[in-house]
Amino acid sequence: MSANLPVRAHRIAADIEALAAITDPHRPYTRRAFTPRFLEGRDHVRRAMVAAGLETRIDAAGNLIGRRAGSEPGTGTIAVGSHTDTVPDGGRFDGVAGVVAGLEIARALRDNGVPLRHDFEVIDCLAEEVSVFGVSCIGSRSIAGVLPPEWLDRIAPEGGDAAGMTLYEGVRFVGGEPERLRTAKRGDLKAFLELHIEQGTVLEGERIDIGVVSAIAGITRIEVIVEGRADHAGTTPMGRRRDALVAASDFVTRLDALARQRAVDGEGHFAATVGEFRIQPNAANVVPSEARLLIDARAELREGMDAFFRDVEGLAAGIAAVHDVTVQPPRVVSDNRPTPSDDGLLTEIEAACDRLGATRRRMASGAGHDMAFFARVAPAAMVFIPCRDGRSHAPEEWAEADAIALGAAVLYETVIAIDAKG
């Protein structure tokens, strides 16, 4: 199919390989934001933007933007983008595929002589991954105008390229102007589109070309503390213990069963994981007196998250009674609501898939993306393309150039359709 597409898979592959070569030695594929290696990658993208006929700039928040002016100034901007920073020892495609897809769309528009009334931009967002400052989506949060000003005072820990640097200094390091951060907020965006590898196995397993992302799941983190009693591990009879770890382990097992049932019976995407688990006093010869666990729950629909939290409260009370321990009321540590994609853009994306003969299905994203923040200031939507075995944030991460090209072609068609509708 790629031979008949308006975009070129070989150019996409060349860009991805070029960026993959820009990595910390012996740590493929690592280009963390706020490091010299990240700036090397950024320079490659900037030069590619210029070669594609785009006018480049770095906004106040440190986002790299390539712009092609439309024929009717003031009608707004259609943007495509993602990010080029990586996690440590990360992959070649997470974020990068979306930026490279935007570059290829710009080249295809030029090569095919397609005029646009709207301005068109390719955006490489700053620090979508969790950065050395402990926070993520710095560039897209700024575009949405929701980056907390106090974050600029955060300091990178010792031991890395950015050691001792503040986020204020980091934004300046990449070419931004943190003193003018408010000017990064956008009010001119007609639409924002993002391509990303799925980071899961649904598309590959079902042999489907394109995932049309209906929403980015909300993420709620819930702390549960189980309090038992410390006793001597050798002398306390088994029947007289108030073991916090035993109670907490039972809680986790039952929670997993609840989450699995909700994923099957509920509406939309749902997943829950206990990813942190700590006990006190954590000594081999002492019955655990306390266990703290942190639940990471993700739901496409808010109603599903609310129902799950009620389930957690009920489970906590039940565990306390069964094991003769105290379970503190579950506490919400952080709570980000789901971000639905724009219905109009989803319709245009699906129509583009049909015109190109690409198979498609709607699906939610269980991971966060820059699109969630763009959606606060503009209609926004995403497409997923398959990745091998669902691997991501690992050196083995892989997506075929033809698959990325098909996704880019879908967005190319969508851009033209949005532009035509005004």
For residue 122, which phi and psi values (nearest 5 degrees)? -110, 125
Determine how β-strand 218-227 pairs with β-strand 290-299. Answer: antiparallel
Q: Is 129 annotated as a binding residue?
A: yes
Residue 219 contacts residue 336 (beta carbons within 8 Å): yes
How far is the CA of 238 from the CAs of 183, 234, 251, 285, 342, in angstroms? 64, 10, 19, 14, 57
Residue 222 contacts residue 331 (beta carbons within 8 Å): yes
Q: What is the token pair recorded at 52?
A: 């594609």
Q: Is 27 annotated as a binding residue?
A: no
302 Cβ partners below 8 Å, 6+ apart?
218, 337, 338
Distance CA 161, CA 132 (A): 9
Q: Is 94 annotated as a binding residue?
A: yes
Distance CA 33, CA 302 (A): 32
The CA dihedral of 174, 178, 180, 184, to the nearest 10 degrees, is 60
Nearest to 338 by CA among 299, 312, 285, 309: 299
- Left, alpha or beta for 259 (phi > 0: left; psi -120 to 50: alpha)? alpha
Residue 346 contacts residue 360 (beta carbons within 8 Å): no
Q: Is 269 annotated as a binding residue?
A: no
Q: Is 83 annotated as a binding residue?
A: yes
Q: Is 298 annotated as a binding residue?
A: yes
> Which residues participate in the annotated binding site for allantoate?
221, 285, 298
> Which residues participate in the annotated binding site?
83, 94, 129, 196, 221, 285, 298, 393
> Which residues participate in the annotated binding site for Zn(2+)?
83, 94, 129, 196, 393
